[in-house]
Amino acid sequence: MPVLPESERLGNPKITIAFLQKFNFDIKKKFGQNFLIDSHVLNKIVDAAEITKEDTVLEIGPGIGTLTQYLAESAKSVVAVEIDRDAVEVLKATLSPYDNVTVINKDILKTDINRLSMEYNDGKPFKVVANLPYYITTPIIMSLLEDEAPITSVTVMVQKEVADRMDAAPGTKEYGALSLAVQYYADTYLAANVPPNCFMPRPNVGSAVIKLTLHDDKPVKVNDEKLMFKLIRASFNQRRKTLQNGIANDKTLTFSKEDVSAALEEIGISPSIRGEKLSLNEFAELSNVLENVGVK
């Protein structure tokens, strides 16, 4: 049985307003606070994340606890990391019916997730769920992926444009360095589009729920990850240039146009191609050929 009926949870706009007024809570733009007020969307997030009673969830930025309540109903336990001290005071009230939630007042970018895993999940990986502030979405997601934190999946509400970029295929206008970076670490699944009227206050743009399921093994074989991502960034810094020009003009690399042209021909790709046409596997192949050319 649920601890709280849906009508008494923060997914009900009246309940959210009542708590905000009770605590005289000031919604802070600097923390990108937009609270979900749609129970259908909240249930959709939990369903997409595939939360079960076996799972410990790491929630990033619980705010006043809207999504946290739904996670607590479905998970074994929830560890919620919230940067806003004022929000933590509200969380004490909104989460008081739940005995399986731990709230930590910290910046997730300065939090040791391995340590959290040892303290709260017996060293096992978390499922990460979050309604992320738009201004810091990419740094948080890339930190989780690049640090190879103990997580199995990341299910997040983000700006729709960012979700589309993470899920994009080669040759599309959304495809770019973020697409390749995310897809190197995880499979992507767009679970839902969410209009602005599902939030309080309303954002100016649409949102989307995207799930990233981390790979057990990387999908490509690359000898030097750092070099591959330098090549990717160089390729998209000047999208209208050919790939060989983009790489040759990049100040962090020392390859000439001739180096790049020869490497592309070696892997069977035209030197006149643009970076947006290359797949992750082709960037890995290019990196493996170029790593022995000149000084990186």
CATH number of residue 234's parent domain? 1.10.8.100
What digits encode the pLDDT tens for the residues 140-168?
999 999 999 999 999 999 999 999 999 99
Q: Are 79 and 205 in a shared domain?
A: yes
Domain-embedded: residue 234: yes
Q: Are 175 and 230 in a shared domain?
A: no
Domain-embedded: residue 296: no
Q: Are 102 and 175 in a shared domain?
A: yes
- In this structure, what CATH number is given to the domain that contains residue 79? 3.40.50.150
Q: Are 13 and 156 in a shared domain?
A: yes
Q: Are 230 and 132 in a shared domain?
A: no
Among the candidates 214, 236, 251, a domain finishes at 214
Domain-embedded: residue 132: yes
Q: Are 126 and 251 in a shared domain?
A: no
Domain count of the chain?
2
Domain-embedded: residue 1: no
Domain-embedded: residue 295: no
> Residue 206 is part of which domain span?
6-214
Among the candidates 192, 214, 236, a domain finishes at 214
pLDDT at residue 2, rounded to an integer? 78
Domain-embedded: residue 151: yes
Q: Are 30 and 175 in a shared domain?
A: yes
Among the candidates 214, 239, 257, a domain finishes at 214
Domain-embedded: residue 105: yes
Domain-embedded: residue 286: yes
Q: Are 274 and 163 in a shared domain?
A: no
What stretches in the chain show pLDDT beneath 70? 1, 30-32, 294-296
Q: Are 201 and 107 in a shared domain?
A: yes
DSSP conformation letters of the chain:
--SS-GGGSTTSHHHHHHHHHHTT----GGGT--EE--HHHHHHHHHHHT--TT-EEEEE--TTTHHHHHHHHHSSEEEEE---HHHHHHHHHHTTT-SSEEEE-S-GGG--HHHHHHHHSTTPPEEEEEE--GGGHHHHHHHHHHTT-SEEEEEEEEEHHHHHHHHPPTTSTT-SHHHHHHHHHEEEEEEEEE-GGGEESPPSS-EEEEEEEE-SS-SS--S-HHHHHHHHHHHHHTTTS-HHHHHHT-TT----HHHHHHHHHHTT--TT--GGG--HHHHHHHHHHHTTSS--
Q: Are 59 and 119 in a shared domain?
A: yes
Q: Are 192 and 149 in a shared domain?
A: yes
Q: Are 14 and 127 in a shared domain?
A: yes
